[in-house]
Structure 1
Amino acid sequence: MGSLTTWNRLEPRTRSATLPGLAARVADPLWMIGRQGQLGELTGSDTASPLAVHLRYEIAPITHWRPDIAQPGDAGLPRPEGTPIEALVDRVPEPVRPRDRAHGGRRLLTLLGPTLSDRYGAALRREFRLDSGDVLSGRAVDGAEVRAQLALVGPEEVRARLDVTTNDAGGFDAAAEAFATWWDRHHPTAVGAWQPRRLAAPFTVGAGDMTLGAPDHRGGRVDWYTFDVIEGTLAAGGPPPVEGGLTVLPTQLSFPGMPFARWWQFEHGTVDLGRLEAAPDDLGRLLLAEFCLIYGNDFFFVPLTLRAGSVCRITELEVHTTYGEVVSIPPAAVHDKKKGRMGWAMFQFDGEPGVLVLPPCSVDVLDGPATADILFTRDEMANLAWAVDRASTEPPPASPPPDSVLRYRLSTPIPPAWQPLLPTQSGTLESPSGEHVLEALELPREGRRTTRHARHARGEDGAAHLWTGWRTRPGRGESSSGLRYDDLG
């Protein structure tokens, strides 16, 4: 049976002179008070005001993490203090370029100081010669090779190769240690949680007795909605949750453009909800207007300061009113469930009401230019999937000159940047070169686009962190390579 949905709106600004009742006319004070009474402003019901709020909570720091989704009983890795979670999860090794090797050698000479660099600079260029095939070849120190030898044989063997004297050994070892720290920060070899077959970086974190998994993290910013509560004790052996509490006076919530509750109170002129234009099916704007006009002044807030990289669980919330009442406030999801309504779960997890996660993410990440840009897309006309290198500069194949001679081609040429992804018996899509291997289920109809960037961010302690990582975004839909078989033209 069909139904007809209608919407009614109250327009505060009339379009007709025959409707004067919508105008807020001004007369004598008694008339104004009567007008307030007609609007229900002088009617009081359940007028007790919150006097104090008593809050009890537990806070557990996020101390462990692990690539991929942990299973019950798996142990986690200690999370470095102050390091953004993106720098741990999204990190992939980046090939060291010749100029990076030369820059590392110059950094080592700077750390040695003018005296030691004059004495052993020639020996460093001889023993750790940079063969880059350009103007730097033979004239610079290969910083990557120096770092590799320091990790492989130690500073003693390196000093022996350079004939460093005993008097200079202390200064050389200090400079070598500082150089190793600098090199590891700018050219880390640690690998995060990135899985090329899934175009994702699933990972798990642990805080106290709670384990949180991020199965569909595609790179980029990490927030509370990235996680799901899973079984496990990843942070076993870590610090237990710390209990705390506070009693404060609640403050009424306000926001810019909020309508005032009093009829005759002048509102800010930059926001006019009466002139809000919304179509009958524009539910978002209609709900916003309804919330501002009807429920805008029904909320109070209590400030609770939490440290980034922690999980907070609210265990008790009591409100003391001016009438001497003590009202216990359950989580909104629990209250709605008792009333038979769909639970309000903003900033919360299913099955864990009253839990707030503040991941140890960076405030702002600075992305460098894309060093790789791959589009994974489907081509229904060719019945293939493709990996398209969007950063490729190779020109497409030239078309033959038009003439009257018919030519038969087994297949039309494809652009060099397009690599076919062929299905395998294991359920993956693989390019002939083996460069790209992708789970078939990870390639939806709209495709996926992955980009690799160098990223820079500051952690909780203000220290700078530099890493290279991938990020996956939705594609642009199906593509057409122009591939045709048995072409005659």
Structure 2
Amino acid sequence: MAGLFVFVASPAQYSTVGRSIQLSGSVGGAGSGSVSWVSIQLGAGGPTVKPNGRENWSWQGLIPNNIRPGQAFQIIVTASGVIQTKGWPEPEYETVDGQAVLNVVLENVVPELTVDSFQSPVVVTQFPYVFQLEGSASEAKPEIYGVPQVQYRIGNGAFVAASPVIGNAARWTAGVSVATKGDTVITVQASDNFGSVTTVQKTLTVFEYPMPTEVDPNAKKTLAGVPTTSSITSWTRLEPQCSDADIGASSNARLFDPLWLMTRQWQIGEFQGEDTGSPVQARVRATGALLTRCYFGELPSDNKAPPYDPTLEPLEAVVERRRMRPAGADDSRMLTLAVEAGLHFLRMLERNATAKKYRPAFLAHYVLQPPLTLSADDAGRRFVQTMVGRAPDARRLASAFRQPDSSQIVFDAALNIAAADRAPVQQVASAWLAWYDGLFTEPGAPSQDAWMPSRLEYAVSVATRLSADPQDALTFSASEFDGGRLDWSSFDINKTAGVDTTGDVYPIALTETTMPAPVSFHGAPAPRFWELEDAKIAYGLVSAGPADVAQMLMIEYASTYGNDWFVVPLNLPVGSVTRIDSLVVTDTFGVRSLLRPIGDPELPQPFFSLWQVSILRRAGESLGGDISPSERIGAPVPNLFFLPPTLGRTIDGAPLEDVLFMRDEMANMGWGIERSIESAIETPLKLASDPAPADSAPPPSTALPRYRLSTTVPDNWIPLLPVQPNNTDNAVSQLRPGAVLQPNSTAKPQFARSEVLKALSTQWLYDEEVPREGVHITRRRHMTRWIDGSTWVWTAFRSEVGTGEGSAGLRFDQIEDGGRSEQGFD
């Protein structure tokens, strides 16, 4: 049977269309007939519209509201017409139809709704509690969807329309009134003209604490405003003195005169006590986040930093680590490790039935070769002479097994390993290489080195964020870390430069309910009558004069207020930052008290900065003038507890390298004295550190005068010469390491051999980093275990105070004549 052909030109099949749509197409197959009508149905069972035109039709309009955002639906185009089936002798016509079905998806456009954060929990003296609720509401295509309508409701109440902010249609505001205490759910929803709704819920916690009753304004009060009858003649504690050897009368605790006891109670102020109970439960709510980023070195500005997981790596180890293993076969460091690791490779070959037959080949091909230069100490030379030609060299093995372009180990053809045996031998080599690389932790790239040679100290920055709010992005910088224990006090909050933590894992809420434990200390009064107190410390017997204010305050605190403190434990993960949100204490009478953290905006400005992290203050920056105290540079940041991944205990080795920096005012320069360096067998190699004494006996008076170009200096005294920098860092002067050239016609300079001074070849030392007392740098091995049981071994620098000024006795241009010398210049 003949029929019409309906074509849809736009939009395409299975495409995404907007709420405002434009359809076009054509109808064919009518021939000598005609198209009677065309209709468009929007969705199965939806409304029908008439397009413009018939053979070539088009329509533009809005998708109806019954089709939701993101929903797939059909557009059905139907056409009807007549065609001529017979032309002679009389024409005949037949009614025909045609249909096209277009499958499309409506764009997912819904209102975007945000609710600004508000204070919760809050404490009020009476209800209702009124506050301003604000936020924003917008639509992706306002010209089609319009401005969303915002409504809110309190608890299960009815929805109430919010008011748009004048001059900013995207912002809305509402005056909210809460009449019940406890947790109240506030629901806010935004809807557009097509029935799309977005809902956001917030919880408001309100505590009610009525104001205390009025007291006599003329009555005597304590500093806290509590009425009192105490005076300078009152007592806070009575201690009986019994000189009788028989303690029976004292232990009986007989009461002869109740009135006398009541006067004693009045005397020590017991009648002033409030009807309060002891805390039996404490609920802590906090927000915490683990460290997510770590930047090594001084943080110049906002930077990207590699990810860091404090549960896997101790921060001190990754900050202090230095290069340990030799870089190649020509590096003479740690020869003992090269030999021991090579022998361990032979042992691993022996344990494999297939690979052990290639033990002679590996030993012959990678045997330890004689070094280009022998070790400077006798022990090192004997070790080299003993092991050369007898043990494999792990340096050469590691270089051969590491393939920069492939993860699979490729063996040298000279080993003659059969194709069938390559897999077992590769398995042994891979296991040995993983063991060799995991022995020590070292910086893998210059960006992982936190040591700053120009400052003779470490610098590191760690970062995390407590929420998606940019104000909760925190960067902690330790810019002057000398080595040792890297604790929270080593860090400051960096406000001028930060590490980008956008997109990192957001924190979790911490809630812990526990029983408060009373604080105890030596000499505290016993809480029970029959409990014998410790007699080692008796605060009542401490003698104090009229001017001993500190001792009297200590006695007063221990005797009167010592039992007013309680400890509430809070379990926190290592390497986290925590902010206390609320602390609710329940006492024995069932009364719940809300304790606000220090720094709460509704509390007065605190004058307490102990155990709080400060804001980093750089050289030349002001402490702040007209800005608020909380924004001043160097001011403490309240309510922020930083628990860095600090090591508990480390095993430290003997110093392998010892370098002393000192100033020489006579020579107008500084010296880097290499007192010991690491030998090839990983032991300290002592170097002569004292300058050679001058000639003790003067030449005979009859001898001719002689000229001395300069005095000699020990080879391990490396000069630090002052130079003028390029002023890119506003430095006045810097110290550049030089070399010793002895006046013995050898013309062979003696350069630095220690790792500390070699690091200064690219970065010159700031002049102020070598004060008059000097600097003492040591390098040694450290080992520890981390919380996951892993073992960490690394080499680190330690920066300590030096031994003061010194002199190398360096002088130039001297004329020695008959025991008398005329010096030129220093």
Is TM-score (shorter-chain normalized) higher than 0.5? yes
From the CA coordinates, give the structure whose radius of gyration is larger.
Answer: 2
Q: CA deviation at 1:315?
A: 1.7
Q: Could you tell me which amino acid in structure 2 is paired with residue 446 of structure 1? A: E
Aligned to 2:720: 421
Check if 1:255 corresponds to 2:255: no
Whether the 8 Å CA contact 1:65–1:78 is kept in 2: the answer is: yes
Aligned to 1:174: 427
Aligned to 1:207: 464
Aligned to 2:390: 139
Aligned to 1:15: none
Matched ranges for 1:23-42 at <5 A: 24=241, 29=255, 30=257, 34-35=263-264, 37-41=266-270
Q: What RMSD, in angstroms, separates the aligned Cα atoms of the two structures? A: 3.5
Please give the alpha-carbon distance, in whole angstroms, between the structure 2 residues aligned to 1:347 and 1:465.
30
Check if 1:244 corresponds to 2:493: no
Check if 1:198 corresponds to 2:455: yes
Instruction: Indicate the larger mover: 126-135 or 463-472.
Output: 126-135
Check if 1:303 corresponds to 2:569: yes
Identify the match of residue 107 of structure 1 among 329, 333, 344. Answer: 344
Please give the alpha-carbon distance, in whole angstroms, between the structure 1 residues aligned to 2:650 and 2:551.
32
Aligned to 2:362: 124
Q: CA deviation at 1:203?
A: 0.8
The one of the two structures with greater contact order (alpha-carbon pairs below 8 A, sep at least 6) is 1
CA-to-aligned-CA distance 1:320-353 (integer Å, 9 cap, x gap): 4456654332333559x96566323314444532
Aligned to 1:219: 483
Whether the 8 Å CA contact 2:674–2:687 is kept in 1: the answer is: no
SS in 2 for 1:315: strand
Check if 1:90 corresponds to 2:343: no
Aligned to 2:695: 400
Aligned to 2:185: none
Aligned to 1:183: 436
Please give the alpha-carbon distance, in whole angstroms, between the structure 2 residues aligned to 1:289 and 1:418.
57
Higher helix proportion (structure 1 or 2): 1
SS in 2 for 1:152: coil
Whether the 8 Å CA contact 1:319–1:329 is kept in 2: the answer is: yes
Q: CA deviation at 1:188?
A: 4.7
Q: CA separation of 1:207/1:395 partners in 2, compared to 1, >3 Å: closer, same or farther?
A: closer
Please give the alpha-carbon distance, in whole angstroms, between the structure 2 residues aligned to 1:278 and 1:428.
55
Q: CA separation of 1:187/1:152 partners in 2, compared to 1, >3 Å: closer, same or farther?
A: farther
Check if 1:152 corresponds to 2:403: yes
Identify the match of residue 371 of structure 1 among 656, 663, 670. Answer: 656
Identify the match of residue 388 of structure 1 among 655, 664, 673. Answer: 673
Aligned to 2:738: 432
SS in 2 for 1:57: strand
SS in 2 for 1:158: coil
Whether the 8 Å CA contact 1:348–1:354 is kept in 2: the answer is: no
SS in 2 for 1:225: helix
Aligned to 1:477: 804
Whether the 8 Å CA contact 2:322–2:449 is kept in 1: the answer is: yes
SS in 1 for 2:804: coil
Q: CA deviation at 1:452?
A: 0.6
Check if 1:352 corresponds to 2:637: yes
Identify the match of residue 457 of structure 1 among 759, 784, 793. Answer: 784
Instruction: Indicate the larger mover: 318-327 or 147-156.
Output: 318-327
Q: CA separation of 1:73/1:196 partners in 2, compared to 1, >3 Å: closer, same or farther?
A: closer
Please give the alpha-carbon distance, in whole angstroms, between the structure 2 residues aligned to 1:323 and 1:330.
21
Q: CA deviation at 1:119?
A: 1.4
SS in 1 for 2:347: helix
Q: CA deviation at 1:84?
A: 0.9
Please give the alpha-carbon distance, in whole angstroms, between the structure 2 residues aligned to 1:71 and 1:291.
47
Please give the alpha-carbon distance, in whole angstroms, between the structure 2 residues aligned to 1:167 and 1:460.
43
Whether the 8 Å CA contact 2:284–2:580 is kept in 1: the answer is: yes
Please give the alpha-carbon distance, in whole angstroms, between the structure 2 residues aligned to 1:195 and 1:101.
29
Aligned to 1:163: 416
Aligned to 2:794: 467
Q: CA separation of 1:168/1:257 partners in 2, compared to 1, >3 Å: closer, same or farther?
A: farther
Please give the alpha-carbon distance, in whole angstroms, between the structure 1 residues aligned to 2:299 and 2:319.
14
Q: CA separation of 1:166/1:486 partners in 2, compared to 1, >3 Å: closer, same or farther?
A: closer
Aligned to 2:35: none
Q: CA deviation at 1:264?
A: 8.8
Please give the alpha-carbon distance, in whole angstroms, between the structure 1 residues aligned to 2:811 and 2:548.
45
Q: CA separation of 1:482/1:269 partners in 2, compared to 1, >3 Å: closer, same or farther?
A: farther
Instruction: Indicate the larger mover: 211-220 or 234-243.
Output: 234-243
Whether the 8 Å CA contact 2:493–2:613 is kept in 1: the answer is: no
Instruction: Indicate the larger mover: 164-173 or 55-64.
Output: 164-173
Please give the alpha-carbon distance, in whole angstroms, between the structure 2 residues aligned to 1:465 and 1:283.
50
Identify the match of residue 267 of structure 1 among 509, 512, 533. Answer: 533
Q: CA deviation at 1:233?
A: 4.2
Runs of at least 5 residues in structure 2 that lack an aligned partner in the other structure: 1-232, 243-249, 327-332, 371-383, 466-472, 615-634, 677-685, 726-732, 740-750, 815-819, 822-826
Whether the 8 Å CA contact 1:70–1:234 is kept in 2: the answer is: no
Please give the alpha-carbon distance, in whole angstroms, between the structure 1 residues aligned to 2:508 and 2:488.
20
Q: Could you tell me which amino acid in structure 1 is paired with residue 646 of structure 2? A: C
The TM-score with structure 1 as length reference comes to 0.83
Q: CA deviation at 1:388?
A: 2.1
Aligned to 2:578: 312
Whether the 8 Å CA contact 2:576–2:644 is kept in 1: the answer is: yes
Whether the 8 Å CA contact 1:450–1:471 is kept in 2: the answer is: yes
Q: Could you tell me which amino acid in structure 2 is paired with residue 458 of structure 1? A: R
Q: CA separation of 1:402/1:177 partners in 2, compared to 1, >3 Å: closer, same or farther?
A: same
Please give the alpha-carbon distance, in whole angstroms, between the structure 2 residues aligned to 1:467 and 1:295.
48
Q: CA deviation at 1:71?
A: 5.0
Aligned to 1:7: none
Q: CA deviation at 1:241?
A: 0.4
Please give the alpha-carbon distance, in whole angstroms, between the structure 2 residues aligned to 1:66 and 1:129.
41
Q: CA deviation at 1:282?
A: 9.2
Please give the alpha-carbon distance, in whole angstroms, between the structure 2 residues aligned to 1:295 and 1:445.
48
Q: CA separation of 1:339/1:265 partners in 2, compared to 1, >3 Å: closer, same or farther?
A: farther
Whether the 8 Å CA contact 1:450–1:473 is kept in 2: the answer is: yes
CA-to-aligned-CA distance 1:38-95 (integer Å, 9 cap, x gap): 2335641363433432211112111221112435542221225422111111111024
SS in 1 for 2:482: coil
Please give the alpha-carbon distance, in whole angstroms, between the structure 2 residues aligned to 1:175 and 1:276.
72
Higher strand proportion (structure 1 or 2): 2
Please give the alpha-carbon distance, in whole angstroms, between the structure 2 residues aligned to 1:199 and 1:171.
48
